């Protein structure tokens, strides 16, 4: 199993959230560099178009990180493909692939936040149709140098080449999904690796959706080893479970209560949080031993997971706390995962 971190390039930490954008970006790049040195497998950068996040130009951040790292895979988490031009997405990540010498990946999704749609002039009523069409084009570009294509949302391409080409012959494109059954089926039917964002509730309840993915892939003729499953969840690792909870809960409760006001969720309470960090809850918060045990339990419950990524840096944690978590993941958690 690969272990990594996904970041939204949060600018919401430091004393009273006063950290400058310059300092927040430099600290993020330091964390990616340190994750590479600590032996983590993958680092992902999301895409948002909000004041509190600095990740609107994902491939730019990843390219800066590529110049400071050697081994770690660099991916989006996710690229909001519905509101983007697949030609430019491919060109950006192919360039990243060249800079990183073959370490680039894309996780493509529709996006749970919707601010990109009006910003780039798209209608939310076309939410799924946009993604379906643009994913089809992105995959064609990934697999073919010259493209002939026409669709509803973009001017046609008539035997036109797309450059540069990625170093990897088939640069990985994962499908990022939430809880919509059709999304799981789509990923399986296309034989794409699946990255499931499970941010609430109990992880094992997603098993029927994972089964839909694997069944759709099998029906489409793909082998089991081609149908990779990744899991993205909020979480945090500290020296002890008690310390992890103490450090993580205040910022987590503040953020998710704020999001709840925007999206109609109830506020976070200590009791609700305790349910999320128990044995079956989705949050991976604790010591390296506790976190490794829970990741392995989740993997077993879902029929096997090939990648797990922590979402850590949007809970008000400091740079030093996040650096400590990366060190613990690399030196203690990953060896425990490899031991099984």
Q: Tell me, what's the pLDDT at 236?
A: 97
SS3 call for 48: coil
Pairing of strands 157-161, 229-237: unpaired
Rounded Cα distance, 126 and 161, in Å = 28
Pairing of strands 146-149, 157-161: antiparallel
Rounded Cα distance, 285 and 272, in Å = 14
Q: Tell me, what's the pLDDT at 13?
A: 58
Rounded Cα distance, 65 and 311, in Å = 18
| In the chain, domain spans | 2-339
Q: What is the pLDDT of residues 34-91, one digit of tens each?
A: 999 999 999 999 999 988 899 999 999 999 999 999 999 999 999 999 999 999 999 9
Q: Which residues of the chain have pLDDT under 50?
A: none
Residue whose entry in the numeric block shows the structure tokens 């793909």: 222
222 CB contacts (<8 Å, ≥6 apart)?
Answer: 188, 191
Q: What is this structure's pTM?
A: 0.95
Task: Determine contact, residues 36/71, Cβ cutoff 8 Å.
Answer: yes
Structure tokens at 213: 């993915």
What's the helix, strand, coil split of the chain in %, to 5?
A: 50, 20, 35
Q: Which of 85, 102, 96 is nearest to 62 (CA)?
A: 96
Q: Tell me, what's the pLDDT at 327?
A: 98
**Which CATH superfamily includes the segment(s) 2-339?**
Luciferase-like domain (3.20.20.30)
Rounded Cα distance, 98 and 66, in Å = 10
SS3 call for 41: coil
For the chain, give the number of residues.
340
Q: What is the pLDDT of residues 227-260, one digit of tens each?
A: 999 999 999 999 999 999 999 999 999 888 887 7
> How many Cβ atoms sit within 10 Å of the Cβ of residue 45?
27
Rounded Cα distance, 278 and 282, in Å = 8
Q: Tell me, what's the pLDDT at 82?
A: 95
Rounded Cα distance, 189 and 177, in Å = 14
């Amino acid at each position: 199993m690969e272990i990594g971190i996904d970041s939204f390039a949060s600018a919401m930490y430091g004393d009273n959230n006063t950290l400058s954008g310059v300092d927040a970006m430099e600290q993020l790049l330091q964390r990616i560099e340190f994750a590479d040195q600590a032996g983590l497998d993958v680092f992902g950068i999301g895409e948002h178009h909000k004041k509190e996040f600095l990740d609107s130009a994902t491939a730019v951040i990843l390219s800066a990180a590529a110049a400071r790292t050697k081994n770690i895979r660099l991916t989006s988490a996710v690229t909001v493909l519905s509101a983007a031009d697949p030609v430019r997405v491919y060109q950006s990540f192919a360039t990243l692939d060249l800079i990183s010498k073959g370490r680039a990946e894309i996780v493509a999704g529709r996006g749970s936040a919707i601010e990109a749609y009006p910003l780039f002039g798209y209608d939310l009523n076309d939410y799924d149709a946009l993604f379906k069409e643009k994913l089809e084009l992105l995959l064609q570009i990934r697999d073919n140098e010259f493209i002939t294509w026409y669709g509803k949302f973009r001017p046609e391409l008539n035997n036109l080449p797309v450059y540069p080409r990625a170093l990897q012959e088939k640069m990985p494109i994962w499908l990022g999904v939430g809880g919509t059954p059709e999304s799981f089926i789509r990923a399986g039917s296309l034989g794409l690796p699946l990255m499931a964002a499970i941010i609430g509730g109990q992880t094992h309840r997603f098993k029927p959706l994972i089964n839909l993915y694997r069944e759709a892939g099998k029906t489409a003729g793909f082998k089991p080893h081609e149908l990779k499953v990744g899991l993205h969840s909020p979480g945090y690792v500290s020296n002890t479970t008690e310390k992890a909870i103490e450090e993580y809960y205040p910022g987590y409760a503040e953020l998710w209560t704020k999001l709840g006001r925007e999206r109609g969720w109830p506020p976070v309470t200590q009791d609700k949080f305790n349910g999320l960090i128990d044995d079956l809850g989705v949050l991976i918060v604790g010591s390296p031993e506790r976190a490794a045990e829970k990741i392995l339990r989740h993997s077993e419950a879902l029929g096997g997971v090939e990648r797990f990524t922590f979402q850590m840096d949007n809970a008000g944690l400091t740079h030093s706390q996040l650096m400590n978590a990366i060190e613990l993941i690399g030196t203690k958690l990953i060896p425990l995962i490899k031991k099984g």
